[in-house]
Structure 1
């Protein structure tokens, strides 16, 4: 069945949700098996090591960049009208939100995407943290925290009514993004060789990046055949977590890509953990970890919404299309995470999620 026939049969909104579900399943399987997490990579790097977690993050990031930039070069997708590019970006939001999110992910012991993956495998700590993250994200979008978010975001925005595309702004030649992605992939593979990372984990790490490219490709294809405007977007978890929560609380909510994405990650992660025999109930080890996790989840919810995306949304999805504020937010997430690890006296402690 071709795409037009599918849209005619089930409708545009259900098709968008189905594409979100497919993207989420691929992401969930790959993220669960590769143990991908920005928090783990930032903590490892902060402690002066370039080992498996940094290698996995770099491979995921570079894979997304290579796939997306190659697809754009060959005219298969066009992300110039993507949601995060077609509206003004916030430099102040990227800085403040990125630092806040980075600090929060260390306190919560996982970035938002990692918490969702862990929750699907029976980690009750991640279930609690994920719910707090979604509630605070919704409060930051339309609730009591929205005026604060709006004020901080409005302090410094991009010019021209759009976000900044770094490659164009820097006047780099065509193909520069692809070359950058390939160079980063080589670095990731070299780190993987030094740390003796198994082939299957490398494949799944690449799969996380591929899921990001898949989301871009599917939503772009739908936008070309849909009668109503369709947002060109891909994997991110701040807005989708809030939207998915409201979908189940508000009967007037409509289907969209976001609504399929989060359940897709849960399904994919659960299936991957089930096949690997890694389903296991886990709780909090004590009151301090519980307190830190709750505070961290709240910081991520507000920070991710202010920054325009989470560790995936800004860090990989936005990074793959070289959105200026996304790259700044990603940099600040690394800084915020490493700083919080230092504040907590994390040196010498294990960096495992």
Structure 2
């Protein structure tokens, strides 16, 4: 238990620190693809997926652990991911983003996190547990894309890595817009870690490496998976209610570490402060948290579990969930941001 706690918290703390300092927010990234036509955060996600894919499949070939993709619950994945995408716009952050923003002192994120944990627990072991099982029971075959086509997984990983490398190369060749900043107050390593704006692709590489590291650390505790947020979040609430130590696994310590790491990063960079939301934000965050918990449980993963981990494992569920998660954020963005903006423009005309 002690080793599991130490490795889980340290891995989570690294992830929370890097995400907070790198402002790695998939909710904002998906939203910006639609509203601002800015794809940088999405490309950064692809970099993290590529790094993890190479790392994890090398570990599997080295015999570090074994992994089987299982079967593909198509309709549950589509519906759950779309609902989750709507939820993260209302909540102001995805599952991991909500954890690390809670560490920054955003009380709205605390509220979204509480309802997210509650709904996930209800879906996984509460009154809706049987509904979740039945909704995810209809499957359409193997979840592994490589197994579907009868090919070695490296025939998917290598072209994907090459494509991502080309996209990043093309992006880095574009003229950079210099953003004026304040005069640095720190020097050396302190300036780099706690003050300098991080490059999104460097942040993505670090996240991909941490995601790769999570697999053997988690496997050593008997949990054969990498980064995961929804089930561990639900387990925390279940433990607080029941006191059952059997539900405490490596993932629980991981999400706790995210909170600690983001708090440390925000505190050291001067970005931590308690921010009280207005009533509208409280209602929106609560509803967003509920939709996040419902959608992620139905889809079998959140923006990290499906969007980062299962995509790197080259599974249908990962990539289908990512597509419908993005469509959900775009749908919610239209009603939350675009439509009200158009109405205000018409009213001023």
TM-score (structure 2 length as normaliser): 0.83
- Unaligned regions of 5+ residues in structure 1, if any? 1-12, 224-229
Which stretch shows the higher mean deviation, 242-251 or 325-334? 242-251
* Stretches of 4+ aligned residues off by more than 6 angstroms: none
Which whole-Å deviations, capped at 9, do the CAs of 1:122-152 have from their partners, x for residues lacking one? 1111011101100100000011222332332
CA deviation string 1:155-183 (max 9, x = no partner): x3143xxx421123223445221331342
- Structure 1 range deviating more: 320-329 or 187-196: 187-196
Alignment pair present for 1:249 and 2:248: no
Identify the residue that residue 6 of structure 1 maps to in structure 2: none
Matches within 5 A, 1:42-121: 42-47=30-35, 49-72=37-60, 74-75=61-62, 77-81=64-68, 85-86=69-70, 88-121=71-104
Give, in whole Å, the separation in 1 of the partners of 2:237 and 2:158: 36
Residue pair 1:237, 1:312 contacting (<8 A) in 2 also: yes
User: In the alignment, which residue of structure 1 is the partner of 2:105?
Assistant: 122
The structural deviation recorded for 1:39 is 1.3
State the alpha-carbon separation in 1 of the partners of residues 329 and 214 from structure 2: 27
What pairs with 1:195-210 in structure 2 (closer than 5 Å)? 196=176, 200-210=199-209
TM-score by length of 1: 0.83
Aligned partners of 2:338 and 2:41: how far apart in 1? 16
Contact 2:108 2:281 in 1 (8 A): no
The residue aligned with 1:148 is 131
Q: Distance in 2 between matches of 1:234 and 1:306?
A: 19
Q: 1:199 to 1:186 in 2, by over 3 A?
A: farther
User: 2: CA distance between counterparts of 1:23 and 1:346?
Assistant: 38
Choose 331-340 or 176-185, whichever is displaced more: 176-185
Q: Distance in 2 between matches of 1:347 and 1:274?
A: 36
What does 1:272-287 correspond to in 2, within 5 Å? 272-284=265-277, 286-287=278-279
Residue 121 of structure 1 aligns to a residue whose secondary structure is coil
- State the Cα distance separating 1:343 from its structure 2 match: 2.6
**Can you give the 5+ residue segments of structure 2 that lack an aligned partner in the other structure?**
178-196, 342-349
1:33 matched to 2:33? The reply is no
Residue of structure 2 equivalent to 1:218: 217
CA contact (8 A) 2:223 2:249 kept: no
Instruction: Return the alpha-carbon distance in structure 2 between the equivalents of residues 294 and 269 of structure 1.
Output: 22
Please give the alpha-carbon distance, in whole angstroms, between the structure 1 residues aligned to 2:51 and 2:25: 15
Largest Rg, 1 or 2: 2
CA distance 1:195–1:46, change in 2 (3 Å):
farther
Q: 2:26 touches 2:94 (CA, 8 Å); kept in 1?
A: yes
Q: CA RMSD, aligned part only?
A: 2.4
Map Cα deviations across residues 182-232 of structure 1 (whole Å, 9 max, x no partner). Answer: 421441353355374966543223222222111112233x26xxxxxx221
The residue that corresponds to 1:346 in the other structure is 338
Provide closer, same or farther for how the CA distance between residues 195 and 59 of structure 1 changes in structure 2, counting only shifts above 3 A: farther
Measured after TM superposition, the shift of residue 16 of structure 1 is 3.0
Number of aligned positions between the proteins: 320
SS in 2 for 1:67: helix
* Distance in 1 (alpha carbons) for counterparts of 2:231 and 2:172: 33
Counterpart contact for 1:40–1:110, Cα < 8 Å: yes
Partner Cα separation in structure 2 for residue 187 and residue 271 of structure 1: 33
How far apart are the structure 2 equivalents of 1:339 and 1:195?
31
Segment drifting more, 169-178 vs 116-125: 169-178
